[in-house]
Amino acid sequence: MRILITGAAGMLGLDLRQAAMAAGHETVALSRSQLDITDARAVTAAVVAAAPQAVINCAAWTDVDGAETRFADALAINGPGAGNVAAAAAGTGAWTIHVSSDYVFNGRKESPYVESDAVDPIGAYGRSKLQGELDVAAAAGARQTTVRSSWLFGAGGPCFPKTMLRLAGERPALNVVSDQIGCPTFTGHLAQALLTLAQDPVPGVLHVAGAGFCSWYEFATEIVAAAGADCEVSPIATAEYPTPARRPAYSVLESERGAPELPPWRAGLAQFMAERAEVAA
């Protein structure tokens, strides 16, 4: 099938483009420099020119802390920008797949969040992503799938494992927050799920994240161990590591709607480490 990818130079976009091409899909991949999704006319022109059967929007503002001081910029991309993509796709009869976030939840639940749970973002980034969900639904109606995912990491961009690997090489010890729980999700695995949904669409919201869950501390411990780094990782509370943005304490995602299942997050980490080793070699 013919697929248009926005945000194609980002971490998820790069993996999605590679997966789509490997699967034999006719792929039009546009980076932010090639298409600013906040420009509605440019988005419409690009979608009309590509004539895709599915549009997968990977373009997003991802700086969680930065959104606190630059909310207007984050909102423009994650909210109305996403709506522009969905409107243009709907105008040509294409299916929209939009990528959202676990940060639309407040993190107070003590069991996994499912698609029907009430949203209540506690930070600017989460509010911008929720607005995107609303704008996409308003623009595309039933011809859209909104995929909420969690704690993305991959070889193609900045991410938590890369930061931990760098710091573990520079310091003898690291302190990492242990009271925030989520589902680390390898973008290579998520990309495959997005392609599955492009070919067999499911309307509405779906939760698609790495199987299992852990804290940032547990994730960091696994990363350092996988690298064989001589670095001690110790747990700390969120209160000991203040950040501009509040983050959900618990944002584990599960699906009640039969969403594509991803491999365990540890399998994603193993593949991430293998890809880094290939690049280094």
Domain of 119, in residue numbers: 2-158+186-211+252-262
Six-digit token string for 271: 């593949």
CATH number at residue 9: 3.40.50.720
Residue indicated by tokens 């704008």: 135
pLDDT at position 276: 84
**Low-confidence residues of the chain, pLDDT below 70?**
279-281
pLDDT at position 277: 78
Residue 125 lies in a domain: yes
pLDDT at position 278: 74
Residue 175 lies in a domain: no
Please name the amino acid found at residue 218.
Answer: E
Residue 168 lies in a domain: no
- For the chain, what is the domain count? 1
Residue 206 lies in a domain: yes
**pLDDT tens digit sequence for 208-243:** 999 999 999 999 999 999 999 999 999 999 999 999
pLDDT at position 67: 98
103 is catalytic: no
Residue 193 lies in a domain: yes
- Count of alpha carbons within 13 Å of 117, Cβ hemisphere only? 26
Residue 165, CA distances (Å) to 15, 128, 173, 264 in order = 21, 30, 12, 20
The whole-chain average pLDDT of the chain stands at 97
Active-site position among 125, 217, 241, 250? 125
